[in-house]
Structure 1
């Protein structure tokens, strides 16, 4: 039987040390909570906000994130590719997502702004109209991605091969254009 909680605020709770009593959260806010190494498998988060939380290494097998916003969160090494793909809608602002995996996901119109996405895997993902503005994409993998109309303005350290990704109408800043030419090993001087 589903245990659902709605419109609740959770502050400074260490879920790593206590069991999670509910399996569905709707319109809930989590502030300064610790989910590090937690098993979030099969849980549903619908229209929820996470602020200044730690979700590093959380297990997300069949987890539902439907219209979920993360702000100022530490989310290292999370396998979003194992989440329930139905209705998956996530946005990140000022988050650390290093070593996380978004393989083969439909993330159209998502936001990854002001965030660190070091060595994140986006392979085979639909990233149309996604905003990566002001983020650091050092070592991020973009292979066979649909990046049409995505926004890379003021984004740092990306390397995207235009021959194996769809880039029609994507936006780039002049100072970052070299990230599209890395494969050719040419030097661009500004």
Structure 2
């Protein structure tokens, strides 16, 4: 069923398998819920808890997440066709984006501790002001990605594509950490 131009507040459950277009979700707690096979199009989530939500075959098209807690989500199980999302001021710790095409995504001022971006396509993606402690980017395409202002970044440039990626000088130790160098400033 198509549900359009609605605002939902303080919900704890949501009928999955519906299509939500141009909808807003505020202060909702869907944690540990099942939103599989649901479609979210041009919608936004504000101050919501989506931790451990199942997004199996869920479509996420032009969706904005602001100030959301989204721990442990396996985004790689979502419908990856045209996946496009902006995550701003979100907690995305331990989320999985394995082998996803994320060229239409942005991560701004968010926590991505322990996130798995292994073999993901993040070409030209904005990942700014984020905490990337223990985030994995092995075999990822990070060409042209913008990492400025992000902290605790560790990437192995020998197995990750980094051409034209934007990094700050303070992030260089994270590119050289496997060599056990002592860099002094």
TM-score interval, smaller chain? over 0.9
Q: Distance in 2 between matches of 1:152 and 1:53?
A: 26
Alignment of 1:20-169 (within 5 A): 20=15, 23-169=18-164
C-alpha distance in structure 2 between counterparts of 1:72 and 1:26, whole Å:
20
Q: TM-score when scaled to structure 2?
A: 0.97
Deviations 1:123-176 (A, max 9, x none): 010001111111000000011100001011111001000011110100011111
Residue in 2 aligned with 1:14?
A: 12
| Aligned-residue RMSD, C-alpha | 1.1
Check conservation: 1:56, 1:75, Cα contact below 8 A. yes
Counterpart among 154, 173, 177 of residue 178 in structure 1: 173
TM-score (norm 1): 0.95
Distance 1:170 1:21, change over 3 A: closer
Which blocks of at least 5 consecutive residues in structure 1 are unaligned? none
Q: CA deviation at 1:8?
A: 0.4
- The alpha-carbon deviation at position 61 of structure 1 amounts to 0.7
Q: Distance in 2 between matches of 1:144 and 1:186?
A: 23
Q: By how many angstroms is 1:20 displaced?
A: 1.6
Q: Gapped runs of 5+ residues in structure 2?
A: none
Residues 4, 22 of structure 1: 8 Å contact kept = no
Matched residue count: 185
Q: Give the secondary-structure state (helix, strand or coil) at the position aligned to 2:127.
A: coil
Query: Secondary structure of 1:179's partner?
Result: helix
Runs of 4+ in 1 over 3 A off after TM superposition: none
Q: Aligned equivalents of 1:113 and 1:79: distance in 2?
A: 19
